[in-house]
Each structure stands twice: as structure tokens, then as C-alpha cells.
Structure 1
């Protein structure tokens, strides 16, 4: 008998889709998203610090057609969630492939997970997006939060709720 593994969906909302966000660095970006997630009850107060520490040890910048970052952590998370931010001005993230190299990132997919065993599946689904030049270009060009939500609902329909 074949078993089907069912992953919990990542909660998101328009509050977690941020087009042309103005931040100076990744710590400020994390703070903006974490504040929203705390208000919604998705994370505990230690989540943001965990995210910053994880980023120092395991950088999440990726050199794609449009450089992206995929910061994530599985601690101090009460409800798995997903957020997407496009940045008015790129910010620096260290490269996942070469931590000594910095990338000027314009698109950030940030998520928190309750069950760390789901991380690989989530990253696999998100990687399908950043392998498609036209999707990254559409995300980068989005001017409104709702535009980002529409793209994500289409591209990650089985992953986000």
C-alpha cells in the first residue's frame, strides 16, 4: 500500500506579501516580518533572534537570475507561515554557496516552520519558482502586495493557505 505524506500548509496573508519594501539590511527586514508574525501569533519572541543567528551560520542568499534569499528557521514557531518581500533597494545577504561572498538581494522568501522535517519539501517547492526566470521577473516587477499574493497562490497553491 502506498503512503501519501501530507504536509501542513504554510499560512500566509496579504500582510506577509510586501512589494517594494524599504529596509536597510536583513536584520531590519527580519524585524518587519517578525513583528507581523508575532502580532498574528505565528511566532514567539525568540524567532527573530534565531533567524538572525541561523543566517550567520547558514547563509541563505542564492545567485539566481535575480538574486534571492530564503531565510527560514524551525524554532520558536507556533504556526508555520510564509512571507515574500521585494525590496525597493537590494540588501546584502551572504551567498549560500560561498559564505564569504555577498549578494545584492532583491527578493526574499522568508518562512517559519513548526515541523523541521518539512523544510526540505518547502525548499524544493520554492526552488521551482526561482528556477523560472519569468516568475522571478514577475515577482520583481510586482508593484502591489496583491500582485505578489496572486503569483504565490498560483505558484505555491499546494503549499500555502
Structure 2
């Protein structure tokens, strides 16, 4: 899978009052780049209700919301670095809420591509210092350079 993080899909200092607003903002980035259809935010929010995606890592609480949509071509990730944390339910315990600081919104066309992307992201989530650097960085380009460097090392 040829995959790259792009600055057009990274929003630093994202302001949102809740997960719906955060997800909608990131879907807007994906729509501007022609990655997803207008209804993708609704699909993601619906799936998030049944299958929460909040995850506590050593570096930061993250979320990786996504939905299945066969209309998506290629694989894309929109990243939101939140100015103030928003609440997501924990994927490991639906009763628990996490204060999420980084959102990785996935838009993946094929199931096998999703598995490859999740493998990369799960490795990334183990990188405590990288997540902390992401939180401290206000440049979309710098975040992409850091993440793309990580992906290349894994290849």
C-alpha cells in the first residue's frame, strides 16, 4: 500500500466542543480533497455509536473513527490535533470516556488496505514520544514529515 500523510488533511489547534464537531471538521477536510462523499460524517458518527474508537496510549488519548464506504478510492487519514480534548468512548470499555487529544479519521476504500493502515497506526500509537511531539507541533507539514518518516522506516 502506497500511503502518505498530506498537510491538507492535518488540522492543528482544532477547536471542537464534542466528538461530532471534531469528526465533522475532519470530514470537511477529506471532502475538500475529494476523498469522501458528503454523507461520510454521518456514516462515521453512526459507527462510532456502536463501535467506539477512543484509545488510551502512553503518549496521549487518541481516537480513530472511520466507516465503511465502498465509494472511497485509495486510503486517506485526516488528523486533528485538538486545542482542548473532547470525549470519546473507550474502545476497550464502552462505559468509559477518554479525553482525546489526537484524532486519526480513516477513510479507506478496501478492507485489506484498512488492515495495513491499522497495522501502521497501531505501531505509531506505541511511539509515546512521537505522539507527544505531534501535540506540541503547530505545523501540518512538520507533522506529515514526522509521520511519513515513521511509515518509511516501517516499510
The TM-score normalised by the length of structure 2 is 0.89
Equivalents in 2 of 1:132, 1:11: separation in Å? 18
Equivalents in 2 of 1:79, 1:27: separation in Å? 24
Partner residue of 1:63 out of 52, 56, 59: 56
- Which ranges of structure 2 fall in alignment gaps of 5 or more residues? none
Q: Which residue matches 1:110?
A: 105
Tell me, yes or no, if structure 1 residue 33 matches structure 2 residue 47: no
Q: Which residue matches 2:16?
A: 23
1:45 to 1:81, Cα distance in 2 relative to 1, 3 A? same
Tell me, yes or no, if structure 1 residue 142 matches structure 2 residue 137: yes
Say which SS state the counterpart of residue 109 (structure 1) adopts. Answer: strand
User: Quick check: 2:80–2:103 contact (8 Å CA) kept in 1?
Assistant: yes
Equivalents in 2 of 1:10, 1:71: separation in Å? 18
Equivalents in 2 of 1:62, 1:44: separation in Å? 27
1:144 deviates by 1.7
User: Quick check: 1:43–1:79 contact (8 Å CA) kept in 2?
Assistant: no
Q: Which runs of 4+ in 1 moved over 4 A?
A: none
1:158 deviates by 7.8
Say which SS state the counterpart of residue 16 (structure 2) adopts. Answer: coil
- Which ranges of structure 1 fall in alignment gaps of 5 or more residues? 1-6
Q: What per-residue deviation string (whole Å, max 9, x for no partner) do you get for residues 110-160 of structure 1? A: 11011022222211110111111111111111122222112111112389x
Equivalents in 2 of 1:11, 1:150: separation in Å? 10
Q: How much is the aligned-residue C-alpha RMSD, in angstroms?
A: 1.8
Partner residue of 1:121 out of 100, 116, 120: 116
Aligned length: 152
Equivalents in 1 of 2:84, 2:67: separation in Å? 25
User: Quick check: 1:71–1:110 contact (8 Å CA) kept in 2?
Assistant: yes
Larger Rg: 1
User: Quick check: 1:25–1:92 contact (8 Å CA) kept in 2?
Assistant: yes
